[in-house]
C-alpha cells in the first residue's frame, strides 16, 4: 500500500493528490488531473478492471483475480463528494447520487436506515453529533437470552488519532509538518504581541501629544 501510494501515485501527481482515507487494503484519494482514466490506462499494470462495464475503454481481463492489483470499488463511477470524520467513519456520494457510509461499531441496518451523507457533512461542518438506536440480543451470566434497546453516539468528528490542522485537514501524529506549523504559530503569536505593544505605545504617545497641546492652550 505504501509502495503504491508513494512510489506510483505520489510520484506521478505530486501535490495534486491527497489521501482522504486508507485501510489495510484500500485507499480513497483525491486527484487533480485532466482525465484520471487516461492516467489509469498508462498505469494499467497496477489495476484489475475486469468488473468495469464491457464497453469501458479500460475494461480488461488481463489482471482478473491477480493478487496485489487494485480494483475500483465503484467500477468507473467517480465520487462526487467525500466526508471523513475519523478512523473507519466516512461517507461519500457518487455522481449518480448513490451513497455509501462506513461507521465502525454501528450495526449495518442502523447505518443504512438512520445515517445519510448529509448527516456526516453536518457533523464536520456544524459539529452536530448524531445518535443511533438499535436492538441487540445479549446473554447474562446464566446464558439467558434477552433483547436490549440501545442508544449510541453514531457520528462524532472528534478524532484523537490525528493532529488537527483546521476543520477539514488532519495530519498523522509525528508528521514532519506539525513541527513547522507549531513554529509558525509561535511566530504569529510573537508578531501579534509585538503589534499589541506597538499599538499601546502609539496610543500613549498620542495621549501625551494631546496633553501637551491642552497645556499650551
- 195 — pLDDT class (breaks 50, 70, 90): low
Cβ neighbours, 10 Å, residue 216: 6
Specify burial of residue 58 (Cβ count, 10 A radius: 0-12, 13-18, 19+).
Answer: middle
Residue 105 lies in a domain: no
Residue 197 lies in a domain: yes
Residue 69 lies in a domain: no
Residue 118 lies in a domain: no
Per the structure, the count of domains in the chain is: 1
Residue 184 lies in a domain: yes
What pLDDT, in 10s, does the model give residues 109-148?
999 999 999 999 999 999 899 999 999 999 999 999 999 9
Query: Which residues lie closer than 8 Å to 53 by C-beta, 6 or more apart?
Result: 59, 75, 76
Tell me what pLDDT residue 217 has: 46
Q: With a cut of 60, say whether residue 59 has pLDDT above it.
A: yes
Residue 121 lies in a domain: no
Residue 217 lies in a domain: yes
**String of DSSP letters for 95-152:** TT--EEEEETTS-HHHHHHH--HHHHHHHHHS---EEEEEEEEEE-TT--EEEEEEEE
* Phi-psi region at 151: left, alpha or beta (left = phi > 0; alpha = psi -120 to 50): beta
What pLDDT, in 10s, does the model give residues 16-46?
999 999 888 999 999 999 999 999 999 999 9
Contact 86, 21 (CB under 8 A): no
Contacts of residues 63-67 at CB distance under 8 Å and 24 or more positions apart, as own/partner, are none
Residue 58 lies in a domain: no
Domain that holds residue 202: 174-217
Amino acid at each position: 500500500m505504501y509502495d503504491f501510494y508513494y512510489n506510483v501515485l505520489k510520484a506521478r501527481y505530486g501535490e495534486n493528490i491527497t489521501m482522504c482515507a486508507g485501510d489495510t487494503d484500500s485507499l480513497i484519494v483525491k486527484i487533480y488531473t485532466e482525465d484520471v482514466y487516461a492516467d489509469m490506462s498508462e498505469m494499467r499494470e497496477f489495476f484489475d478492471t475486469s468488473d468495469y462495464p464491457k464497453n469501458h475503454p479500460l475494461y480488461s481481463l488481463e489482471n482478473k483475480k491477480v493478487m496485489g492489483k487494485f480494483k475500483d470499488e465503484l467500477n468507473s463511477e467517480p465520487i462526487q463528494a467525500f466526508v471523513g470524520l475519523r478512523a473507519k467513519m466516512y461517507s461519500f456520494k457518487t455522481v449518480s447520487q448513490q451513497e455509501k457510509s462506513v461507521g465502525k461499531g454501528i450495526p449495518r441496518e442502523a447505518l443504512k436506515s438512520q445515517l445519510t451523507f448529509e448527516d456526516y457533512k453536518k457533523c464536520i461542518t456544524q459539529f452536530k453529533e448524531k445518535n443511533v438506536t438499535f436492538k441487540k440480543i445479549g446473554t447474562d451470566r446464566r446464558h439467558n437470552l434477552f433483547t436490549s434497546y440501545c442508544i449510541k453516539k453514531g457520528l462524532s468528528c472528534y478524532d484523537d488519532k490525528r493532529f488537527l490542522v483546521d476543520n477539514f485537514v488532519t495530519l498523522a501524529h509525528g508528521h514532519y509538518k506539525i513541527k513547522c506549523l507549531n513554529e509558525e504559530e509561535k511566530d504569529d503569536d510573537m508578531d501579534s504581541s509585538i503589534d499589541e505593544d506597538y499599538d499601546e505605545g502609539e496610543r500613549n504617545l498620542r495621549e501625551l501629544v494631546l496633553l501637551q497641546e491642552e497645556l499650551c492652550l
